[in-house]
Amino acid sequence: MQWQELIRDVKSLEQRNSSAQADIISIEYDSRRVSADSVFVAMRGGATDGNRYIATAVAQRTAGIVTDSQESFRQLAVTNPALPLLLVEHGRTALAQLSAAFFNHPERKLRSTGVTGTNGKTTTAFLTESLLNHAGRIALLVGTIENHIAGEVREAIHTTPESRDLFALIAEGVDRGATELVMEVSSHALDQGRVAEIGYDVAIFTNLTRDHLDYHQTMEAYFAAKRLLFDGSRYKAPRVAVLNADDQYSNELAAVASAAGATVVTYGMSTHANWRAEGLELTPSGAEFQLIAPAGEAQIKSHLAGEVNVLNLLGALAAAHSRGVDFAALVKTAPLLRPVPGRFQPVNAGQPFTVIVDYAHTDDALRNLTRLARQLLAAPSSQPATNRRVITLFGCGGDRDRTKRPKMGQAAGEGSDLVIVTSDNPRSEEPDAIIVEILPGLIATGTDYLVEPDRAAAIALALSHAHTGDVVLIAGKGHETQQVLRNEVIFFSDAKVALSALQAMGYGGEQ
């Protein structure tokens, strides 16, 4: 691809040597990956400024530079007068536009479904992908846990990748026969322009609760980023907006989406939701309910446990139907859907109590998780319900929003009978210092608690306190297989550590 062809649709502030004839072989935002005939996009980021690495890209014989720094542009025009240059206002938006062009606009060859919200994105995206696949579509999944490319599973690095990597995935999916794109769309990605050029046919909103304020600073700014997926102000508005009717932010999203030309479809437990569950009965192994929808009614038996997962299922059903999947096919497929890794994932070594691993890492998610555990305790059992307890283990991540730490302590204390406070991913912070900020909210609830900073030891401690009929919740890391410490990253899987601890207690292998 020629430079002129590459930059044709990119809005620029200034250009140099735009008639250059070099063949472009790649688009890069990491100077370490630049080689001869690569274009380097130097953009300002949250952690670093790519413009600091322009000299490295030039030394690697880059074929051209796209920058969002006027100073860098001026310097390059003097020091490298023959080098093709493009000055843009937003580096990340330009990266998306360039990447889409370089990969021959693969996003135009798929029908896209985007899922945003604080909690439930991963489960809703997985379920939507499964419903589409069962209907004969070939879906490309881009998500927090993993990416699915025509049946191949790959570990994911970010909830929403940088646009260059995202478009490379989409292009590969198209080459391998994908017809649908289902992806989690983070608030960071929306705010930074990583998903520019992708037109979402269906956009799903799960909920909004306190999270990521280390980045957004305020809930208003956090919501404003989510709203971008629906209001048509920066991105093309979706054809259909699928909104959680039980969330307080959905009314505003419905108004802006409708004003932007989208059809609004709601889901939830509320009687006014278009897709809703009535007569919900929860069991330790799943849920049963009467599905009420504009397309029909049906009794659903699901392997997804808890009201929260029923909400996620309703959102996925509404989205898949909005993508043209027949209602009868959805009803047939719903009982086949399985829980998502690290999302209310049971660990069973034959022990007489329930052990659940879950990604809950916000106060709202912890409340939902402990509420779900209480629902399990209410299920029939030989052990009297009054003697059955919820034991919750959790920590808070380092270098992230510190204000949610006491709130998570409060949420855990209010929903549990015993809380084990431990480390999550402390990153550059001291685990003990993080725990100190958790404890005030927990202590205020009066709930019994123990502190063990070593997460593996804490998991063993939590399990040692469990009796017949109890529910042990291991919260915060879910599907993750690493723990990020100050000076190293170590392998750590909550599920595997819990299974090993159960086996050390004398229970058998995983059932």
246-258 pLDDT per residue, tens: 999 999 999 999 9
The verdict on whether residue 113 carries a ligand-binding annotation is no
Q: Is the dihedral of CA 366, 368, 372, 375 positive or negative?
A: positive
The verdict on whether residue 159 carries a ligand-binding annotation is yes
Same domain, 291 and 438: no
| Per-residue pLDDT at 159 | 61
Radius of gyration of the chain (CA): 24
The verdict on whether residue 192 carries a ligand-binding annotation is yes
Asked if residue 509 has pLDDT above 70, the reply is no
Asked if residue 216 has pLDDT above 70, the reply is no
- The CATH number of the domain where 208 resides is what? 3.40.1190.10
The verdict on whether residue 426 carries a ligand-binding annotation is yes
The verdict on whether residue 69 carries a ligand-binding annotation is no
Asked if residue 511 is part of any domain, the answer here is no
Asked if residue 425 is part of any domain, the answer here is yes
Which residues have C-beta within 8 Å of that of residue 147, sequence separation ≥ 6? 140, 141, 153, 154, 155, 156, 169
Asked if residue 97 is part of any domain, the answer here is no
Q: Which of 182, 186, 202 is nearest to 141 (CA)?
A: 182
Domain that holds residue 71: 3-90
The verdict on whether residue 120 carries a ligand-binding annotation is yes
Per-residue pLDDT of 147-158, as tens digits, reads: 999 778 888 776
The verdict on whether residue 227 carries a ligand-binding annotation is no
Q: How many domains does the chain have?
A: 3
| Per-residue pLDDT at 213 | 63
| Per-residue pLDDT at 396 | 96
The residue among 290, 309, 336 that closes a domain is: 336
The verdict on whether residue 23 carries a ligand-binding annotation is no
The mean pLDDT value for 13-25 works out to: 87
pTM of the model: 0.82
The residue among 336, 365, 382 that closes a domain is: 336
Same domain, 248 and 323: yes
Per-residue pLDDT of 480-494, as tens digits, reads: 889 999 999 999 999
The verdict on whether residue 107 carries a ligand-binding annotation is no
The verdict on whether residue 16 carries a ligand-binding annotation is no
More confident residue, 18 or 472: 472
Same domain, 329 and 230: yes
| Per-residue pLDDT at 158 | 66
| Per-residue pLDDT at 382 | 46
Strands (E), 60-173: 64-67, 85-87, 111-116, 139-142, 146-149, 152-155
The verdict on whether residue 424 carries a ligand-binding annotation is yes
Same domain, 148 and 284: yes
Per-residue pLDDT of 343-398, as tens digits, reads: 888 898 999 999 999 989 889 889 989 998 998 887 655 455 558 999 999 999 99
Same domain, 276 and 373: no
Asked if residue 510 is part of any domain, the answer here is no
CB 353 within 8 A of CB 382: no
The verdict on whether residue 392 carries a ligand-binding annotation is no
The verdict on whether residue 480 carries a ligand-binding annotation is yes
CA dist 440 and 426 (Å) reads 19
The verdict on whether residue 194 carries a ligand-binding annotation is yes
Asked if residue 281 is part of any domain, the answer here is yes
The mean pLDDT value for 321-341 works out to: 95
Same domain, 21 and 131: no
Same domain, 192 and 166: yes
Classify residue 73 by its DSSP letter.
H
Asked if residue 91 has pLDDT above 90, the reply is yes
Q: Give the model's confidence band at 29: pLDDT under 50 very low, under 70 low, under 90 confident, else very high.
A: very high
Same domain, 410 and 476: yes
The verdict on whether residue 144 carries a ligand-binding annotation is no
- The CATH number of the domain where 447 resides is what? 3.90.190.20
Percent of the chain with pLDDT over 90: 77
Average pLDDT, the chain: 92
CB 286 within 8 A of CB 305: yes
Same domain, 131 and 81: no
Asked if residue 96 is part of any domain, the answer here is no
The verdict on whether residue 122 carries a ligand-binding annotation is yes
